[in-house]
């Protein structure tokens, strides 16, 4: 009788492995980037001078990273959380944001963070299809 794997190794599909590798790279890069900004004496942003858009951006990015971390253990849930965060950020930028022409640049930039989310969802789909067979 085979023992069913659990946790991070539950879905060892190719998209799942790629999603975990890319997520790990995004998370490490983001942590290094945040630490670099915090250590810089002239970061350019005073604590009291954050705009509403910057605060919303930070919130959506935190939710995105929570989705990536959740994806390590639950492919479907992590993919849904992170892709919803990206979609809601884009909707906010299009509807309520004050970015003007730069909103298209933001949309282009958010294609790359969507890659692990899509891979998590693909892995979840393949695993659920495999369980049905």
Give the three-class secondary structure for 50: coil
Sequence-distant (6+) residues with CB within 8 A of 15 are 119, 120, 122, 123, 126
Sequence-distant (6+) residues with CB within 8 A of 72 are 8, 20, 23, 78
pLDDT in tens, 11-59: 478 888 999 999 999 999 888 877 776 666 555 555 556 677 777 878 8
* Domain residue spans of the chain: 14-38+52-132
pTM, entire model: 0.77
Which single residue is written with the structure tokens 């004496």? 41
pLDDT in tens, 45-104: 555 566 777 778 788 888 999 999 999 899 899 999 999 999 888 888 777 766 666 767
């Amino acid at each position: 009788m085979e023992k069913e794997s659990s946790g991070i190794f539950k879905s060892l599909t190719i998209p799942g492995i790629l999603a975990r590798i890319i997520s790990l790279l995004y998370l490490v890069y983001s942590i290094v980037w945040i630490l670099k900004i915090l250590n810089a004496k002239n970061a350019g942003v005073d604590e009291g001078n954050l705009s509403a858009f910057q605060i919303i951006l930070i919130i959506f990015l935190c939710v995105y990273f929570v989705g990536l971390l959740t994806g390590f253990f639950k492919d479907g849930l992590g993919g849904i959380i992170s892709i919803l965060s990206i979609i809601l950020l884009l909707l906010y930028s299009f509807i309520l944001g004050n970015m003007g022409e730069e909103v298209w640049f933001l949309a282009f930039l958010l294609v790359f963070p969507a890659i692990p989310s899509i891979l998590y969802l693909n892995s979840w789909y393949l695993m659920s299809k495999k369980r049905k067979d």
